[in-house]
Amino acid sequence: MMEAPDGQPENKPPKIVTAAMLVIGNEILSGRTRDANMYYLAGRLTELGIRLMEARIVPDNEAMIVAAVNDLRARYDYVFTSGGIGPTHDDITADCVAKAFGVGVGIQAEARRRLEAHYEPGMLNEARLRMARIPEGATLIDNPVSAAPGFRIGNVLVMAGVPAIFQAMVASVAPQLTGGDRLLSRTVIAQVPEGAVAQDLGALQQAYPDVDMGSYPAFRGGRASTAIVLRSTDKARLDAAAEAMHGIFRRFGGEPVENEIV
Amino acid sequence: MMEAPDGQPENKPPKIVTAAMLVIGNEILSGRTRDANMYYLAGRLTELGIRLMEARIVPDNEAMIVAAVNDLRARYDYVFTSGGIGPTHDDITADCVAKAFGVGVGIQAEARRRLEAHYEPGMLNEARLRMARIPEGATLIDNPVSAAPGFRIGNVLVMAGVPAIFQAMVASVAPQLTGGDRLLSRTVIAQVPEGAVAQDLGALQQAYPDVDMGSYPAFRGGRASTAIVLRSTDKARLDAAAEAMHGIFRRFGGEPVENEIV
């Protein structure tokens, strides 16, 4: 924490950087595929000091993609999309993002060069060349797996849906992202039902409005346990709240631990 | 298919029933928990002839939950929510749904009776009793796992986030849901890169606008494969398109199969 001139710690509000994710693809909504990219991105953004505030999953539908891109980019610092940038007719993300920004879209020279370098001579057909269609004004996101790039336009980062490629693209862009104050967290777990501690937890939350507290019940081997996740940008406040939570669990006969497995 | 009086099959448009899912919970967005409920619901709805058109994941934030409930319930036949109906301070879904509908919320007699029957004498404390808070005019959704009910108000079905309870609640309400014509599907897979077949697939899609075609590339053991998912309410059209897709794969040297593992 910064010190003010008189030596007192300054009560600077935390720097908060936000993001949303837009998952594009019929296969997630039909139940064919279980999305893996949002879970991955959520974890990486937390490490980068960026708060994932919302996620949406939409089908390969132009109107829905355009509306979601425009809604989310107006409300969050970053928007990450996954899916719909391959060579087939159902890959419409680049066109939709261009439409959302009101710009043109066409074969971009550098994207084409990367595809030409990747494919054997004669294999870069018309369909594959579609993967070089990039909205005007966008910059490329590297794809070390299969060459066809993602792109960034404004605060929207467009990436592939195949998890190995999505993850490689996130690694490519991570150094360009500006994070805010990291949300630190502690997780206190005990074999106490959440209904037993709920009232004291509510009072603790009121005493620490600057520490976000979530309660997650679980049942393992027929025994109820509760995980309390505490999050704050202020380590001293976080630690004080976590220690108080240990005390609450103990009062209800629990032996709190701080890891994810009880 | 119904027959018209002159013996010709009637070209009745398919009956389409739609749904959205709203996942409520900070833990999904922070990367702590990987959502399991959407994937489960997507599969069950497909079986029931209901099309999951969109999903949203929002934090435990009143304004965001209210806005999402009102947006989604106006646009889809059903809205399914998961999460936020437990006994702790961060369980605000019932209050938010009541606010979205502009109705009151309070302890409901039947919900209270179920909790009283479930807990040992003296264990139904004030926090647990919060789980009997149900919006006015809502009907209960049974919870055979831990008694505390979900509820349905209008076209919104509110369920728990713990996957075992969520799944039990979906089973409870499934008989009350009205499905439309089932979307039949076939998946044709071959060890051919999607960029090779993309152009012919696009032409096939144009010839069968009533069959939805999605292309899903995968890399297994260093070899590229492509799964084409074809979906339609019309079995004859679906079968004709799937057979044509077999032909396309064969022309590119593939040996198409119809299961999920190549």
Answer yes or no: do A217 and B26 touch at CB < 8 A: no
Q: How many CB pairs (< 8 A) connect A and B?
A: 184
Average pLDDT over chain B, rounded to an integer: 93
* CATH no. of A18-176: 3.40.980.10
A129 phi, psi to nearest 5 deg: -65, -20
Would you say residue B156 has pLDDT above 80? yes
Q: Is A67 left (phi over 0), alpha (psi -120 to 50) or beta?
A: alpha
Chain B hits for A198, Cβ within 8 Å: 86-89, 125, 127-128, 130
Chain B hits for A230, Cβ within 8 Å: none
Chain B hits for A85, Cβ within 8 Å: none
B154 CA: distance to closest CA in chain A (Å): 23
| Mean pLDDT value of segment B202-217 | 96
- The domain defined by B17-176 carries CATH number 3.40.50.720: no
A72 CA: distance to closest CA in chain B (Å): 12
B8 CA: distance to closest CA in chain A (Å): 33
The residue behind tokens 């979601």 is A68
Q: Which helix (H) or strand (E) holds B187?
A: strand B184-190
Chain B hits for A25, Cβ within 8 Å: 214
Answer yes or no: do A214 and B27 touch at CB < 8 A: yes
Amino acid at B150: G
Specify the pTM: 0.92
Would you say residue B2 has pLDDT above 50? no
CA distance A160 to B218: 12
Using H for helix, E for strand and C for coil, what is the string for A35-72?
CCHHHHHHHHHHHHCCEEEEEEEECCCHHHHHHHHHHH
Answer yes or no: do B202 and A57 touch at CB < 8 A: no
The DSSP code for A28 is H
| Mean pLDDT value of segment B215-241 | 92
B78-82 vs A78-82, strand pairing mode: unpaired
CA distance A251 to A204: 14
- At residue A260 the predicted structure's pLDDT band, cuts being 50, 70 and 90, is low
Q: Is B94 left (phi over 0), alpha (psi -120 to 50) or beta?
A: alpha
Answer yes or no: do B42 and A56 touch at CB < 8 A: no
pLDDT score for B1: 45
pLDDT score for A252: 96
The encoded tokens of residue A35 equal: 């999305």
The encoded tokens of residue B106 equal: 């309070």
pLDDT digits (tens, 9 = 90+) for A113-123: 999 999 999 99
The residue behind tokens 């709190």 is A256
| Mean pLDDT value of segment B152-166 | 97
The DSSP code for A209 is T
pLDDT score for B12: 77
Answer yes or no: do A56 and B52 touch at CB < 8 A: no
| Mean pLDDT value of segment B22-50 | 93
Would you say residue A219 has pLDDT above 90? no
Enter the ipTM.
Answer: 0.92
pLDDT score for A127: 96
Domain boundaries, chain A: 18-176, 184-251
Answer yes or no: do A55 and B60 touch at CB < 8 A: no
| Mean pLDDT value of segment A51-79 | 97
Give the other-Cβ count within 10 Å of B170's Cβ: 22
Percent of chain B with pLDDT over 90: 87
Answer yes or no: do B199 and A28 touch at CB < 8 A: no
Long-range pairs for B102-109: beta carbons < 8 A, 24 or more residues apart: B103/B135, B103/B136, B103/B137, B103/B153, B104/B135, B104/B136, B105/B133, B105/B134, B105/B135, B105/B136, B106/B133, B106/B134, B106/B136, B107/B132, B107/B133, B107/B134, B108/B132, B108/B133, B108/B134, B108/B138, B108/B140
Of B30, B88, B125, the CB nearest to A201: B88
Would you say residue A1 has pLDDT above 50? no
B198: closest chain A residue by CA: A88
Which of A197, A166, A184, A193 is closest to A86 using CA atoms? A166
- At residue A2 the predicted structure's pLDDT band, cuts being 50, 70 and 90, is very low
pLDDT score for B238: 97
pLDDT digits (tens, 9 = 90+) for B64-101: 999 999 999 999 999 999 999 999 999 999 999 999 99
The DSSP code for A120 is P
A29 CA: distance to closest CA in chain B (Å): 6
A126 CA: distance to closest CA in chain B (Å): 8
| Residue B30 Cα distances to A20, A159, A182, B58, B110, angstroms | 12, 20, 12, 11, 35
- At residue A184 the predicted structure's pLDDT band, cuts being 50, 70 and 90, is very high
pLDDT digits (tens, 9 = 90+) for B229-238: 999 999 999 9
Give the three-state DSSP class for B110.
helix
Answer yes or no: do A214 and B64 touch at CB < 8 A: no
Of B41, B162, B219, the CB nearest to A217: B162
Percent of chain A with pLDDT over 70: 95
- A residues 173-232 near B, CB within 8 Å? 183, 185, 187, 194-196, 198-199, 201-202, 205, 212-219, 229, 231
pLDDT score for A11: 67
Please, what's the b/e burial string for B53-65 (b: 16 or more CB within 10 A of its CB; e: otherwise)?
Answer: bbbbbbbbbeebb
| Mean pLDDT value of segment B170-190 | 95
Least confident of A8-22, A127-141, A228-242, B19-33: A8-22
- A residues 34-63 near B, CB within 8 Å? 34-35, 38-39, 41-46, 51-60
| Mean pLDDT value of segment A58-76 | 97
Least confident of B26-30, B117-121, B126-130: B26-30
- The domain defined by A184-251 carries CATH number 3.30.70.600: yes
The answer to whether the beta carbons of residues B56 and B79 sit under 8 Å apart is no
Average pLDDT over chain A, rounded to an integer: 93
| Torsion of the alpha carbons at A143, A144, A146 and A148, rounded to the nearest 10 | 30
Q: What is the separation of C-alpha A62 from the centre of its chain, rounded to a whole number of angstroms?
A: 23
Amino acid at B237: R
Give the three-state DSSP class for B139.
strand
pLDDT score for A9: 54
Long-range pairs for B88-91: beta carbons < 8 A, 24 or more residues apart: B88/A194, B88/A198, B88/A201, B88/A202, B88/A215, B88/B127, B89/A198, B89/A201, B89/A202, B89/A205, B89/A213, B89/A215, B90/A205, B90/A213, B90/A214, B90/A215, B90/B26, B90/B60, B91/A215, B91/B60, B91/B130, B91/B131
Is the CB of residue A245 less than 8 Å away from at least one CB of chain B?
A: no
B139 CA: distance to closest CA in chain A (Å): 23
